Amino acid sequence: MVSRVVLGCGTVGQRLVSRLADRGGVRTVVCGTESRVEALRSEGVDATVANPTDVSVLADLPAMSTVIVAADSTARNREIATVARDRYPGAFLVVLDGMEATDADLEAVSAVADVVLDPEPALVDSIADQVVGERAEDTRRLRSAIRGVDGELAVVMHDNPDPDAIASAVALAMLSEALGTPATPCYFGEISHQENRAMVNLLDLELEGLASADAAIERFAGFALVDHSRPGVNDQLPEDLDVDVVIDHHPPRGGVPAVYADLRADVGATSTLVLDHLHRYGIVPSSTVATALMYGIRVDTDDFAREVSKLDFEAAASILPSVDEGLLARIESPSVSGDTMSTFATAIEDREVRGSVLVSCVGRISDRDALPQAADKLLTMEGITTVLVYGLMGDDVFMSARARGTNVDLGETLRMAFDHIGSAGGHADMAGAQVPFTDAFGEFEDDADRLAAIRGVVTEAFFDALQERPSRTAELLEEADSVGFEFDGVLEND
Residues 108 and 171 placed together within one structural domain of the fold: no
Residues 364 and 286 placed together within one structural domain of the fold: no
Q: Give the C-alpha separation, 22 to 45, whole Å.
A: 12
Least confident segment among 97-111, 112-126, 151-165, 225-239: 112-126
CB atoms within 10 A of CB 36: 20
User: In 3D, which of 167, 205, 197, 168 has the Cα closest to residue 330?
Assistant: 197
Residues 213 and 300 placed together within one structural domain of the fold: yes
More confident residue, 471 or 383: 383
User: In 3D, which of 116, 114, 170 has the Cα closest to residue 147?
Assistant: 114
Strand-pairing partners, residue 7, are: 30, 69
pLDDT tens track for 341-353: 888 899 999 899 9
Q: Please check the confidence at residue 294 and state whether its pLDDT lies above 60.
A: yes
Measure CA of the first residue to CA of the last residue in the chain; give whole Å: 43
Angle among Cα 387, 391, 397 to the nearest 5 degrees reads 105
Residues 273 and 254 placed together within one structural domain of the fold: yes
Residues 154 and 290 placed together within one structural domain of the fold: yes
Which whole number is the average pLDDT over 356-375?
Answer: 90
More confident residue, 27 or 207: 207
User: In 3D, which of 118, 169, 139 has the Cα closest to residue 16?
Assistant: 118
Q: Is residue 130 part of a domain?
A: no
* Tally of domains within the chain: 3
Q: Is residue 444 part of a domain?
A: yes
Q: Is residue 482 part of a domain?
A: no
| pLDDT in the model for residue 2 | 56
Q: Which helix (H) or strand (E) holds 163?
A: helix 163-178
**Predicted model pTM:** 0.59
Q: Which helix (H) or strand (E) holds 477?
A: helix 472-482
* Helix/strand/coil for 131: helix
Q: Mean pLDDT across the chain, nearest whole number?
A: 84
Residues 259 and 111 placed together within one structural domain of the fold: no
Residue at a domain's end among 120, 152, 175: 120
Residue at a domain's end among 332, 360, 380: 332
User: In 3D, which of 127, 123, 77, 81 has the Cα closest to residue 98?
Assistant: 77
User: In 3D, which of 341, 431, 447, 356 has the Cα closest to residue 389?
Assistant: 431
Q: Is residue 133 part of a domain?
A: no
The secondary structure of 410-468 as a DSSP string is HHHHHHHHHTTTSEEEE-SSEEEEEEEHHHHH---SSHHHHHHHHHHHHHHHHHHHHHH
Residue at a domain's end among 55, 85, 120: 120
Residues 116 and 155 placed together within one structural domain of the fold: no
Return the CA Rg of the chain. 26
Q: Give the C-alpha separation, 133 to 161, whole Å.
A: 34
Identify the CATH number of the domain in which residue 66 sits. 3.40.50.720
| pLDDT in the model for residue 136 | 74
Least confident segment among 99-113, 217-231, 242-256: 99-113
Which residues, at least 6 apart from 469, have a Cβ–Cβ distance to it below 8 Å?
408, 409, 412, 413, 416
| pLDDT in the model for residue 304 | 85
Residues 290 and 316 placed together within one structural domain of the fold: yes
Identify the CATH number of the domain in which residue 261 sits. 3.90.1640.10
Cα separation values, 256 from 20, 134, 234, 244, 369, Å = 34, 20, 14, 11, 27
Identify the CATH number of the domain in which residue 426 sits. 3.10.310.40
* Helix/strand/coil for 34: helix
Q: Give the C-alpha separation, 113 to 97, whole Å.
A: 11
Q: Give the C-alpha separation, 177 to 182, whole Å.
A: 5
More confident residue, 261 or 440: 261
Q: Is residue 383 part of a domain?
A: yes
Q: Which helix (H) or strand (E) holds 279?
A: helix 270-280
Q: Please check the confidence at residue 271 and state whether its pLDDT lies above 50.
A: yes
- DSSP one-letter code for 227: S
**Amino acid identity for residue 370 in this structure:** A
Q: Is residue 189 part of a domain?
A: yes
Q: Is residue 488 part of a domain?
A: no
Least confident segment among 32-36, 45-49, 90-94, 475-479: 475-479
Residues 191 and 302 placed together within one structural domain of the fold: yes
As a residue count, the chain comes to 494
Residues 150 and 285 placed together within one structural domain of the fold: yes
Residues 39 and 184 placed together within one structural domain of the fold: no
Q: Quick check: 6 and 29 in contact, CB under 8 A?
A: yes
Range of the domain at 347: 338-472
| pLDDT in the model for residue 84 | 93
Residues 210 and 317 placed together within one structural domain of the fold: yes
Which whole number is the average pLDDT over 135-164?
Answer: 91
CB atoms within 10 A of CB 454: 22
Q: Give the C-alpha separation, 398 to 414, whole Å.
A: 12
| Residue 222, CB-side half-sphere exposure with 13 Å CA sphere | 22
CB atoms within 10 A of CB 460: 12
Which whole number is the average pLDDT over 366-385?
Answer: 89
More confident residue, 196 or 103: 196
User: In 3D, which of 86, 90, 78, 35 has the Cα closest to residue 56?
Assistant: 86
Which whole number is the average pLDDT over 44-65?
Answer: 90
Cα separation values, 368 from 7, 14, 172, 189, 391, Å = 56, 57, 26, 11, 8
- DSSP one-letter code for 20: G
Q: Is residue 356 part of a domain?
A: yes
